[in-house]
Amino acid sequence: MTAVVQQVGTTVARVRTGWRTKAKPGQLLTHLSLLILVLIWTAPTAGLLISSFRSKDQLAVSGWWTALAVAVTQEGTRLPTADSSIAETGLFVIRGRLPGTDMGTKIRSYGLNARDLTAAAPGESLSMQDGGSITVEADGSFEWSADRPFTHTRGPRLFYVVERSPRFTIDNYIEVLTTSGLGRSFINSFAVTIPATFIPILVAAFAAYALAWMRFPFRNLIVVTVIGLLVVPLQMSLIPLLSLYNDIAHAFGAADGKTYLGVWLAHTAFGLPLAIYLLRNYMLGLPREIMEAARIDGASHFQIFTKIVLPLSFPALASFLIFQFLWVWNDLLVAMVFLGNQETKLVLTGKLASLLGTRGNNWEVLTAGAFVTIVVPLTVFFALQRYFVRGLLAGSVK
């Protein structure tokens, strides 16, 4: 055994130095190609991130990539009614500021008709149908004055071209984060995800070892069946399985078979074929010599598995853990069917989907929602990255 451990130790040390080439002429090309690929891959995600800081109205009229530039937009507003006028030294005045303007914005021109936006430059006056004349300044403040009292009950409209420095809002995030019950659905998601990630890893690791390194009848048949089961469409298994759950629940006198246990077991089973397939492939690549040496030392399969194979398989276990975690965390269907979507049981994805509104009218919150949910899987990814990126084994020495 000690010899084996030593061997593993040196292998680890060897691999830890990594395969890093020294500076070469082709190095620049490597940097450049990778940079281009990363940029292409990141563009949609970046777009989503930027979009999440923009309002729904902004999203509907301009592309996210324009968010960082000075925007020139054409807007309209309705001026106040006579009620808000004040009397001033023989004049009647309505003062105010155009919506969304401040020191950082600049009015280029304005007009009283949507088709004539350049009727007046800032500082110039236009005469109004309801009496008097209006002057809009470059900073967006306006003054409408007349020598007779105002009587209009419906404010006239004013249109303007405005230059705006980039504008961002955290409203989308506020809407997501202040949803009542968000905290609870976070906990629900954890309650579903953690067991549903760990159970299949354990079950699959043992099975994968048996299928990779043990000799017994029907081994290849089982391997092939596992691959074949990867393709069973999830949608087809929902009804038979929920019927089974409900039958069991009814036998015990419960109303329905929707429990956390049911979701864990379902996710475990749906994740198993991929887990077994990936782990078996990885374990097959482990150096044969280590295992043979251990066998000669009198170690049983159980000892080889727990003391040698399991630690060596960390990269593969970590990769699968990430994928299973992601899949369960982002799943809506399985949780919806096997847990239900009562307020108390709703998982995070279900909660976000319900923010959409019956007709999907609040789709803009999905932009923020995507980043609220992504925090957890990304944390898991970063936490585990060192395991599968560094790599613990020396592959197959064939």
Partner 1 sequence: MSRPEYYAIENLGGAMLEQFAGAIVAVILAIVGCLGYFWGTNWLLETMLAGRRANADAETARRDRLGEQIRPWLFLLPALLFLSTYLVYPAIETLRLSFFDRSGSGFVGLANYTWLLADGDFRASIINNLLWLIIVPTLSTAFGLIIAVLADRVWWGDLAKSLIFMPMAISFVGASVIWRFVYDYRGAGEQQIGLLNAIVTAFGLPPQTWISIPVWNSILLMVILVWIQTGFAMVILSAALRGIPQETLEAARIDGANGWQMFYLIMVPQIKGTIAVVWTTITIVVLKVFDIIFAMTNGQWDTEVLANLMFKWMFVNVDYGRGSAIAVIIMLAVLPIMVWNVRRAKTEGEMQ
Partner 2 sequence: MLRLSLLAAVSLMSGPCLGAEWPDLSGQTITIAGPYIGPDEEHFRAVLAPFAEATGAVVDYAGSQQFSQQIVIDTSSGSAPNVAIFPLPGLAATLAGEGKLAPLGDETETWLRDNYAAGQSWVDLGSYEGPDHVRRLYGFTYKTDLKSLVWYVPDEFADAGYAVPETFEDLQALTEKIVADGGTPWCIGIGSGAATGWPATDWVEDLLLRLESPDVYDQWVSHKIPFNDPRIVAAIELFGWFAKDNAKVAGGTNAVGTTDFSLSPQGLFTVPPQCYLHHQASFISSFFPENVVLGEDADFFYFPSYAGKELGKPVLGAGTLFAITNDSPGARALIDYLKTPQAHEIWMALGGFLTPHKGASLDAYPNDTLREQGQILLNATTFRFDGSDLMPGAVGAGSFWTGMVDFASGRSAEEVATSIEESWKALP
Q: Mapped to the 3 state alphabet, what secondary structure does 136-158 carry?
A: ECCCCEEEEEECCCCCCCCCCEE
From the list partner 1, partner 2, none, partner contacted by residue 381 (C-beta under 5 to 8 A by kind): partner 1
> Is the Cβ of residue 7 or residue 66 nearer to partner 2 in the bound state?
66
> Is the Cβ of residue 94 or residue 384 nearer to partner 1 in the bound state?
384
- Using CB under 8 A as the binding rule, whether residue 33 contacts partner 1 is answered as yes
Q: Which of residues 306-345 bind partner 2 (CB under 8 A)?
A: 332-333, 336-337, 340-343
- Strand locations in the chain, DSSP E? 71-78, 86-88, 91-97, 105-111, 125-127, 133-136, 141-146, 157-164
User: Tokens 């429990």 belong to which residue?
Assistant: 259
- CB atoms inside a 10 Å sphere around CB 286: 22
- Using CB under 8 A as the binding rule, whether residue 366 contacts partner 1 is answered as yes
Report the distance separating Cα 269 and Cα 246, nearest Å: 18
- Using CB under 8 A as the binding rule, whether residue 159 contacts partner 2 is answered as yes
- Using CB under 8 A as the binding rule, whether residue 71 contacts partner 2 is answered as no
The residue from 257, 273, 324, 337 that contacts partner 1 (CB under 8 A) is 273
Alpha carbons within 13 angstroms on the beta-carbon side of residue 354 total 16
Residue 127 three-state SS: strand
> Is the Cβ of residue 39 or residue 170 nearer to partner 1 in the bound state?
39
> Is the Cβ of residue 330 or residue 362 nearer to partner 2 in the bound state?
362
> Is the Cβ of residue 3 or residue 284 nearer to partner 1 in the bound state?
284
Among the listed residues 62, 77, 53, 202, the one whose alpha carbon sits nearest the alpha carbon of residue 142:
77
> Is the Cβ of residue 110 or residue 280 nearer to partner 1 in the bound state?
280
- Using CB under 8 A as the binding rule, whether residue 66 contacts partner 2 is answered as no
The residue from 69, 250, 281, 295 that contacts partner 1 (CB under 8 A) is 281
Tokens of 176: 């997501």
Tokens of 98: 């155009």
The residue from 207, 223, 355, 370 that contacts partner 2 (CB under 8 A) is 355
The residue from 90, 103, 147, 216 that contacts partner 1 (CB under 8 A) is 216
Compute the least distance from the CB of residue 84 to partner 2, in Å: 16
Report the distance separating Cα 124 and Cα 137, nearest Å: 8
* DSSP symbol at 66: G
Q: Which of residues 191-210 bind partner 1 (CB under 8 A)?
A: 191, 194-195, 198-199, 202-204, 206-207, 209-210
Enumerate residues 6+ apart whose C-beta is below 8 A from 396. Answer: 284, 285, 286, 287, 288
Report the distance separating Cα 134 and Cα 159, nearest Å: 12
| Identity of the residue numbered 71 | A
- Using CB under 8 A as the binding rule, whether residue 169 contacts partner 1 is answered as no
From the list partner 2, partner 1, none, partner contacted by residue 207 (C-beta under 5 to 8 A by kind): partner 1
Report the distance separating Cα 77 and Cα 96, nearest Å: 12
Enumerate residues 6+ apart whose C-beta is below 8 A from 312. Answer: 8, 286, 290, 392, 393
CA pseudo-torsion sign 48, 50, 55, 57: negative
Report the distance separating Cα 82 and Cα 80, nearest Å: 7
Stretch that binds partner 2, among 15-23, 133-141, 236-244, 381-389 (CB under 8 A): 236-244
From the list partner 1, partner 2, none, partner contacted by residue 45 (C-beta under 5 to 8 A by kind): partner 1
The residue from 85, 101, 105, 268 that contacts partner 1 (CB under 8 A) is 268
From the list partner 2, partner 1, none, partner contacted by residue 259 (C-beta under 5 to 8 A by kind): none
Residue 81 three-state SS: coil
Residues 247-286, mask of contacts with partner 2 (x by CB under 8 A) = x--x----xxxx----------------------------
> Is the Cβ of residue 67 or residue 380 nearer to partner 2 in the bound state?
67
> Is the Cβ of residue 149 or residue 395 nearer to partner 1 in the bound state?
395
Residues 199 and 271 sit within 8 Å (Cβ to Cβ) = no
Enumerate residues 6+ apart whose C-beta is below 8 A from 305. Answer: 206, 209
Compute the least distance from the CB of residue 318 to partner 2, in Å: 32
- Using CB under 8 A as the binding rule, whether residue 5 contacts partner 1 is answered as no
Binding site for partner 2 (CB under 8 A): 55-57, 60-61, 74-78, 99, 113-115, 117, 154, 157, 159, 238-239, 242-243, 245-247, 250, 255-258, 332-333, 336-337, 340-343, 350, 353-363
